[in-house]
Structure 1
């Protein structure tokens, strides 16, 4: 997780830290927020306990056929025996949560300020099946003063929102795109919190939101870091047609991950992109079902050793993420992000276009991601200063 924080230290030499302008909290009904979901825990545990699982199923290597029954049973047992939602809730509430009213939506975000007066405002966007939880491990280190490669000191004011329809942010109406989210979240940054300029980080669907600000709100979003680009990766045939050669073993490994995902791992994308009600309503009051549907993604997309040392992705991390989805009743609404952002149009686009800004862009590719963007592609979409 610490790898996410490191590239941002670079752009301190490229952009000045933002000053905070006058804030207008009253206009947006900004309120402190405390997470209290414990009332839903007894039903969640009852549903987990009462869900019958098969004794045996056909065995396939790894997750070839989806999450293994053995893994599911281990996760379920830990959920019932060792998992403590109250403890998790307490740890979440150590951070400063807020709700603001923007465009008739309740918008939730964490806002943790550095003690340094010249800290750079940085907003971190998650995707699906993620949430604000995935950035909690890096908040503290980002707010602390660190030294760049050039010897300058830098720290960040960290803002971590819940995307619309996720967790504590309310669900908008039909046809809501990632560009709409980019517009909505520019408001808390510039008008509610009062930052003149800020930096963005995006992964998964959050990359589309970050791109919408980097490209469309380019006087305020003055630096961007992506762990995923909001453009569809190229197939081996497309790479060959564009005379793009993958020279490193890592590039080749990541491209094969994308090939495998396209062939056997993207069924959820088709389902949520075409019939989100069907899967969302089936899973709505089914925590075990949500664990199967989303837990497999946490394991498959991050680290083959997930849940075992030395991986930092423990079973507890998976369980608290799924619990958050269940207790906030956001499994149905969160799936609409696929339906409302058709493939190739918004979110993940076919045509690679260059951002309308000269601000620095940074990209970090993680080995076990299921998409791949070689440097030559990343260079076409922005002022790439770090890869």
Structure 2
């Protein structure tokens, strides 16, 4: 419809209109924090060139396999076509830049984060920690709702000051040294909240690998971390036999279905986990400059780990997440989180010395669900909600229930915002 020059000019205007003012009041050490804008468009021509040159086999190869052997060939072909012909990264950048992005230096690492504040002076500060193959994009659909004032199920007013960091090695945060652990990430996030942003007490949320630094903050920094909401646990799963031995009964049909799904993932869905845990360079270097390969590797996870009935998690969401990984050159460093944390998921269930509340949310189509009795072993479990919809990326495929559950933190909050 427009020529490329006119189109870029229009999008540049959109970026200016959507970008938050750097003069907006933000409570932080201004000398240590720099406003940041997403601008990766320079890498698009190379990415598009590689995509156009990439080849896929014909449908006659292994016909009828569908998604039983990994990502469906027809789905990958469709995603590739949409990526080349319809996907608009500049529009996505404009949407990302509607949030306030910042970077700061902590322990020699650049830490990227979104920081959106509520207008309510009693808002609860909260960190939202993503996992792999996620990013800060997992939470952009819920940030504005969380900063808006609402009420809990019992009528208490609630809003949040929201901080969404990119984990080290992901997106715009520095690639950490090879010996970096999730405990190190928790430490620098404590510094970010306390020393950089000035929040002496805060809440945390974590999913996938993000649950590990969130839980470490909960367990090891209890004076500051006054609530932790999780959808994933940094503890190894129980098999059905182990549940029986532990005298844990799954009473509902939903719980039994979730356990079957958990065991199916443990037996046939976690080969990627073992590879990234032991040989991250093998897959990482193979796909480093291969956008179609990254789309296949990442896209399969989004498709199979999500609620198949969700209207929210679309092909566009898969494409913008994969594009972010590719253009930030963070695919290799992101999967190093597995290699760096061989014991990141603990075998011994222990309860830390904190009275801070630990609400937990389960989602039907998540790849793994921990029964209520197991979650109660690792913290002060005050609420366990099991949802009939949503999956591994709840911020994308069931944002309404995730927001409602996070708001319930107010019911148990005994910190000072």
TM-score between the two structures when normalised by the length of structure 2 = 0.84
1:49 to 37, 52, 61: 52
Distance in 2 of aligned mates of 1:170 and 1:177: 14
Aligned residues: 359
The verdict on how the C-alpha distance between 1:154 and 1:22 changes in structure 2, with shifts beyond 3 A counting, is: closer
Q: Give 1:62 shift.
A: 5.1
Q: Give 1:379 shift.
A: 0.9
2:207 to 203, 209, 215: 203
Which range moves more in the overlay, 233-242 or 92-101? 233-242
2:287 to 283, 290, 295: 283
1:218 to 219, 222, 231: 222
Whether contact under 8 Å (2:116, 2:161) holds in the other structure is yes
Alignment of 1:22-171 (within 5 A): 23-26=28-31, 29-56=32-59, 57-60=61-64, 63-171=67-175
Distance in 1 of aligned mates of 2:338 and 2:201: 30
Q: Give 1:311 shift.
A: 2.2
1:373 to 367, 370, 373: 370
Structure 1 gap segments, 5+ residues each: 1-20
Distance in 1 of aligned mates of 2:69 and 2:187: 40
Which range moves more in the overlay, 58-67 or 177-186? 58-67
Whether contact under 8 Å (1:303, 1:311) holds in the other structure is no
Moved over 6 A (4+): none
Which range moves more in the overlay, 237-246 or 322-331? 237-246
Structure 2 gap segments, 5+ residues each: 1-25, 385-417
Distance in 2 of aligned mates of 1:147 and 1:105: 38
Distance in 2 of aligned mates of 1:376 and 1:293: 34
Q: Give 1:194 shift.
A: 0.1
2:195 is the counterpart of 1:191: yes
Higher relative contact order (CA 8 A, sep 6+): 1
Q: Give 1:304 shift.
A: 2.3
Distance in 1 of aligned mates of 2:127 and 2:64: 41
Q: Secondary structure at the match of 2:378?
A: coil
Distance in 1 of aligned mates of 2:30 and 2:198: 9
Which range moves more in the overlay, 325-334 or 253-262? 253-262
Q: Give 1:356 shift.
A: 2.3
Alignment of 1:245-256 (within 5 A): 245-256=249-260
Counterpart of 2:333 in structure 1 is 333
Counterpart of 1:13 in structure 2 is none
Distance in 1 of aligned mates of 2:27 and 2:102: 18
